[in-house]
Amino acid sequence: DIQMTQSPSTLSASVGDRVTITCRASQSISSWLAWYQQKPGKAPKLLIYKASSLESGVPSRFSGSGSGTEFTLTISSLQPDDFATYSCQQYNSYPWTFGQGTKVEIK
Amino acid sequence: QVQLQESGPGLVKPSETLSLTCTVSGGSINSYYWSWIRQPPGKGLEWIGYIHYSGSTNYNPSLKSRVTISVDTSKNQFSLKLSSVTAADTAVYYCARHVTSSSCFGYWGQGTLVTVSS
């Protein structure tokens, strides 16, 4: 299985901060990576697919980059609604696997 | 707008079979791939398997011997059966629809907590 490792596990930030989350794959996954946002007690919400494509309706302050084994999710200016847990998912090969999540907390 | 809703028992005894159904509304189950994903309390997400409306399936090898996913296009539903459950199968179970021509998940149900306990 491809292991997905996110860093950091927890991130403390303030409204307006630029935030970057990293996801590393244990082997190359090309650009077959998605990012999700999840709030407590809710289902994940797709933000980014194919590493850098913004899902319809997702604010443009979210962006994704990377290919191969290293990927980043960037929030250009953190908003109050963005405090949540973010997870990456590879869909290059079966079984599809997720990172353990990065919790973005209020500083 | 497509909506998904999981249903089924919230408590299952060890060694028994967990059975959940996902009902799709606001759109047809045809022409898409549909997955089950779970999340143990406080942990990350785990993909369980998918089914295409045609009936083709693919399962996570870690669960393959215990999992069956089926589809009922006449009811716009698909289902999950997980046999011989243990406490390690306690999780929130989500059903989800794949993004068109992709293998990530664009629509999710709200999730249902299934606890395995005697």
Q: Could you read off the pLDDT of B29-56 as tens digits, one per residue?
A: 998 999 999 999 999 999 999 999 999 9
What are the per-10-residue average pLDDT scores of chain A (107 residues)?
A: 97 96 98 97 97 96 98 97 97 97 95
Which chain B positions have a beta carbon within 8 Å of A31's beta carbon? none
Q: How would you label B76-87 residue by residue, b for 16+ Cβ within 10 Å and e otherwise?
A: bbbbbebeebee
How many other C-beta atoms are found inside a 10 Å radius of the C-beta of residue B42?
A: 6
Residues of chain A with a CB closer than 8 angstroms to some CB in chain B: 1, 32, 34, 36, 42-46, 49-50, 55, 87, 89, 91, 94-101
Hey, which residues does B6 pair with through a beta bridge?
B22
Subunit contact A95:B62, Cβ cutoff 8 A: yes
Are A47 and A54 spatial neighbours (Cβ–Cβ below 8 Å)?
A: yes
How many other C-beta atoms are found inside a 10 Å radius of the C-beta of residue A56?
A: 8
Q: Which residues lie below 8 Å from residue B74, measured CB to CB, with a gap of 6+?
A: none
Are A84 and A39 spatial neighbours (Cβ–Cβ below 8 Å)?
A: yes
Name the residue type at position B5: Q
CA distances from A80 to A85, A104, B5 (A): 13, 11, 28
Residue B100's pLDDT is: 81
pLDDT by 10s per residue, chain B, length 118: 999 999 999 999 999 999 999 999 999 999 899 999 999 999 999 999 999 999 999 999 999 999 999 999 999 999 999 999 999 999 999 999 999 878 899 999 999 999 999 9
CA distances from A7 to A85, A88, A101, B42, B54 (A): 12, 11, 8, 17, 39
Pick the closest to residue A75 from A21, A9, A32 (CA basis).
A21
A95: closest chain B residue by CA: B60
Residue A67's pLDDT is: 98
Residue B102's pLDDT is: 80
